[in-house]
Amino acid sequence: MQTPLGNHRIAEKIGDGLPLLTAFKAREPFAIFDPKTCDPDKDWILTRILWLEGSETGKNRRGKVDTKSRYIYIHGTHDEASIGTPASHGCIRMCNLDVLDLFEHTFSGERVTIKA
């Protein structure tokens, strides 16, 4: 269950206008992350979501490898110290200020290439 490689596009942008550290569950905002009270062992989806959709059939689109049906996102994380190491089920986790900036400079349908 690694991050699917290859060509993708941004299928949906979620979280526009919400506060930094907004926590999402099933792509819906439900809280503001608080490191003093929130479970640090949970894989938090924070700040913004760029939901990816694969564009290469058999590699990252359709069947068991389908990026969108696996809910593969680019999103903020509570564990910014782990950035650059495998720590999710396939999502690309970013520092919250960085994903906020990326969100503001991308559009739905934009191409994204994920390389090893």
Identify whether 59 is part of a domain.
Answer: yes
Residue 1 included in any domain: no
How many domains is the chain partitioned into structurally? Answer: 1
Residue 85 counted as domain residue: yes
Range of the domain at 80: 6-114
Mean pLDDT of 7-27: 97
* 49-78: pLDDT as tens digits: 999 999 999 999 998 889 999 999 999 999
- pTM reported for the whole predicted model: 0.93
Q: What percent of the chain has pLDDT over 70?
A: 99
* Higher per-residue confidence, 88 vs 107: 107
Q: Answer yes or no: is 51 within a domain.
A: yes
Q: Is residue 105, in this structure, part of any structural domain at all?
A: yes
Q: What is the overall mean pLDDT for the chain?
A: 93
Domain contains 104: yes
pLDDT computed for residue 40 by the predictor = 84
Kindly state the tokens that stand for 30. 């439900």
CATH number at residue 99: 2.40.440
Whether residue 26 lies inside any domain: the answer is yes
Quickly list DSSP for 41-102: TS---EEEEEEEEE-SBTTTBSGGG-TTTTT-EEEE-S-GGGTTS--SSS-EEE-HHHHHHH
Residue 72 in domain: yes
What value does the mean pLDDT take over residues 25-53? 94
